[in-house]
Amino acid sequence: MDVNKIKQLKRGRRKGRVRAKVSGAADCPRLSVFRSNRGIYAQLINDEIGKTLAAASAGEIHPVKSGTAGPDSNREFNGVKDKGKKSAVSFELGKIIAKKAVEKNISKVVFDRNGYKYHGRVKALADGAREGGLKF
């Protein structure tokens, strides 16, 4: 079997185990994380009604440009100096999703790592959300 297919199946199993234990409600929604090679995404989800309350993506911090990096590739994006550092972008994304949650009077969430290991970009997003005022 293809190595990527095996990785995908294993992550699916881990995700199922996590989702069996973690569920979001109106007062304490689920903070779900999706990680791709190019970006990272976060959503606050109320599982009782199946509705996304707030969402944020790395595109809000780190706009994707077409073509190669030009002379302005070292620009600062929303306080993130090194736009190539994915963990720095994830940390800022955690702060943004926390700000959106606080605007909706949400202070407590349950963290859904979505089958990913709790390190690197996933941990950076969680740390940024904690710094932004969320408790989990």
pLDDT score recorded for residue 71: 45
pLDDT of residue 63: 61
Burial class (CB in 10 A: 0-12, 13-18, 19+), 77: middle
pLDDT in tens, 19-68: 888 888 888 999 999 999 889 999 999 999 999 999 999 988 866 554 44
pLDDT over 60 (residue 79): no
Whole-number Å distance between alpha carbons of 77 and 117: 27
Using pLDDT thresholds of 50, 70 and 90, give the confidence band for residue 1.
confident
Residue 50 CA from chain centroid, whole number: 18
Cross-strand bridge partners of residue 50: none
Report whether 47 contacts 25 (CB < 8 A).
Answer: yes
The structure tokens 């994006």 sit at 77
pLDDT digits (tens, 9 = 90+) for 89-136: 999 999 999 999 999 999 999 999 998 999 999 999 999 999 999 998
Place of tokens 């989702």: 19
Q: Can you give the pLDDT at residue 84?
A: 54
Going by the DSSP 8-state scheme, the letter that residue 64 receives in this structure is P
Between 26 and 7, residue with greater pLDDT? 7
Q: Tally the C-alpha atoms within 13 A of residue 124's C-alpha that lie toward its C-beta.
A: 15
Give me the domains of the chain, ranges plus CATH numbers: 3-64+77-131 (3.30.420.100)
Model-wide pTM > 0.85: no
Q: What is the 3-state secondary structure (H, E, C) of 12-41?
A: HHHHHHHHHHCCCCCCCCEEEEEECCCCEE
